[in-house]
Amino acid sequence: MGIVFFALYLGAFFGLAVGLLFGLRAIKLI
């Protein structure tokens, strides 16, 4: 059960990192 929560946390962290990366890239293009 702990592994499931860890996987969800890791997925959310990577999702946030990817979103931030794309956001910064979009700001650079503007």
Ranges of each domain in the chain: 1-30
Q: For position 8, what pLDDT does the model report?
A: 95
Q: For position 27, what pLDDT does the model report?
A: 85
The C-alpha atoms of residue 1 and residue 25 are separated, in whole angstroms, by: 36
Q: Structure pTM? A: 0.57
**pLDDT per position as a tens digit, 1-30:** 789 999 999 999 999 999 999 999 988 886
Q: For position 14, what pLDDT does the model report?
A: 96
Q: For position 26, what pLDDT does the model report?
A: 87
Neighbours of 22 (CB within 10 A): 10
Q: For position 22, what pLDDT does the model report?
A: 93
Q: Which two tokens stand for residue 20?
A: 């931030």
Q: Which two tokens stand for residue 3?
A: 């592994």
Phi and psi at 7, nearest 5°, equal: -65, -40
